Chains A and B, each alone.
Chain A
Amino acid sequence: MPNMQPYQNPTYFLILGVALLPIMIGMLFGKKLHWYQTLISFAFLLLTFGGPKWEQGIALICYIVFEVCLIGIYHAYRQKKNATWIFYLAVILAIIPLVIVKITPALEHGRASFIGFLGISYLTFKVVQIIMEIRDGIIKEFKPWLVLQFLLFFPTISSGPIDRYRRFVKDYNKSVVREKYLELLDKGVWYIFLGFLYKFILAYYFGSRLEPVVSRLAVSHGGISWWLVAYMYVYSMDLFFDFAGYSLFAVGVSYIMGIETPMNFNRPFKAHNIKDFWNRWHMTLSFWFRDYIYMRLVFFIMKNKLIKSRITIANVGYFTLFLIMGFWHGLTWYYIVYGLFHACAIILCDAWLRFKKKHQAHIPSNKFTEALAIFVTFNTVCFSFLIFSGFLNVLFFHGTN
């Protein structure tokens, strides 16, 4: 059986285009072919998780059965009672498979866990979100079929963007209006073509052409060199265009299927400060962390009056958020340092914003200061990506990245 990873090559897009055709025609005639959508979702999941990757396919099935049962049981419980410890237990159970998958390589010399599969992180984000909203009483009904559709929505399964359950269900059940769909189709196709430019031209150029050259030169020069600086920029560009390109494909295909999956990037390198950057970079992830970790933690601390100072609460929140994000990327020193670096950067940024507010009258604000802010932010971000890349591990500790 053939195996294809999502959005990797022209053949995938060709098959995708043909498979989406009936959906498009149906939509233009005001019909949503849900059964057909399910059918091709299944086919594409089989294409990604079947054949030589069948072990991942089995892992995916087991994971889904486990999580959907967990959601169902917690929902049934929540209808009658609402103990806090049961809620924590449900969240812990939901993330245990992901934790195992993340810890295994660190313990077993890089060997991947057999319960892992492509996209497990993103599915876990979706599951935790559902459990938290059931706890809040916002998700009132448990509909296994819709939960499955949401979790296994194939355009976004491997790497997001991370949609929200209630938003997804609204789109899924919405009846089609031709004018509105034409607009979506228009945008969807445009995003896919922009994605081609990003992923297959720009990311290819930076990642497959420039990166090997600058990394070789940086290694042969050793230590801190201008080649290392060059590597930092090249890697940052590759990271952005590769991931933004991928996200554009996922959003574009979702649009064609009538689902308005949220955007992941909004010109991140135009950010004026680190806070602004996180509102523009991998947005569905940073908003997930904001809404389900940071705000909940801050709410908990304030409500129980655990810490008095507003500034300390915010900083505790930032450290928690970015440490978890670091660990989520993987158990290596550079991912964790990357998280800590961003926590420090955002705390500094907050302090600066407070200072600026106080001394507004004396701090100039013009085109030049704006350009300077963008320049400083861009370089701070690129430096954080250099940490993230693991290249320093290769350079200074002769590790592998």
Chain B
Amino acid sequence: MKDQVIEILENLTGSDEVGKDLDVNLFESGLLDSMGTVQLLLELQSQCGIDVPVSEFERSEWDTPNKIIAKVENMQ
């Protein structure tokens, strides 16, 4: 699961930075924006089968790869 999330993030951000530093702040570093966030939610839905409504997405809870992985593992 962890690798899958990292792969999704690498594809979305078009950089391998996410794989190297799992605590990088995705929004502050400019790797992810609102657009990327929506794509992330759609990918999580189609690849991992977890459903996150847009209003569930609280930026501060999803701003690093580690936090996203934890969220996904929690929701499965």
A residues at B contact (CB < 8 Å): 132-133, 136-138, 275, 290-292, 294-296, 298-299, 302-303, 310, 313-314, 317, 353, 357
Take A299-B41, A303-B42 as given contacts and tell me if A314 and B54 are in contact as well, using a CB distance cutoff of 8 Å.
no
Query: What is the bound-complex CA distance between A295 and B34, given in angstroms?
Result: 6
* Main DSSP-derived SS at the A contact region: helix
Chain B nearest CB from A320 CB (Å) reads: 13
B residues at A contact (CB < 8 Å): 14, 30, 33-35, 37-39, 41-42, 53-57
Q: Is the CB of A136 within 8 A of B35?
A: no
Q: Is the CB of A353 within 8 A of B30?
A: yes
Query: What is the bound-complex CA distance between A77 and B33, given in angstroms?
Result: 34
Partner of A136, one of B14, B37, B39, B54: B54
B residues within 8 A CB of A314? 35
Q: Is the CB of B33 within 8 A of A291?
A: no
* Main DSSP-derived SS at the B contact region: helix
Complex A-B: 16 CB contacts under 8 Å? A133-B55, A136-B53, A136-B55, A136-B56, A138-B53, A291-B54, A291-B55, A291-B57, A292-B55, A294-B34, A296-B54, A298-B34, A298-B35, A299-B41, A299-B54, A353-B30
Question: Nearest residue in B to A310 (C-beta to C-beta)?
Answer: B35
Query: What is the bound-complex CA distance between A303 and B39, given in angstroms?
Result: 9
Question: Nearest residue in A to B14 (C-beta to C-beta)?
Answer: A357
Question: Nearest residue in B to A296 (C-beta to C-beta)?
Answer: B54
Question: Nearest residue in B to A299 (C-beta to C-beta)?
Answer: B38
B residues within 8 A CB of A295? 34, 37-38, 54, 57
Take A299-B41, A299-B42, A303-B42 as given contacts and tell me if A138 and B55 are in contact as well, using a CB distance cutoff of 8 Å.
yes
Query: What is the bound-complex CA distance between A299 and B53, given in angstroms?
Result: 10
Chain A nearest CB from B40 CB (Å) reads: 11
Question: Nearest residue in B to A313 (C-beta to C-beta)?
Answer: B35
Question: Nearest residue in A to B39 (C-beta to C-beta)?
Answer: A302
Q: Is the CB of B34 within 8 A of A290?
A: yes
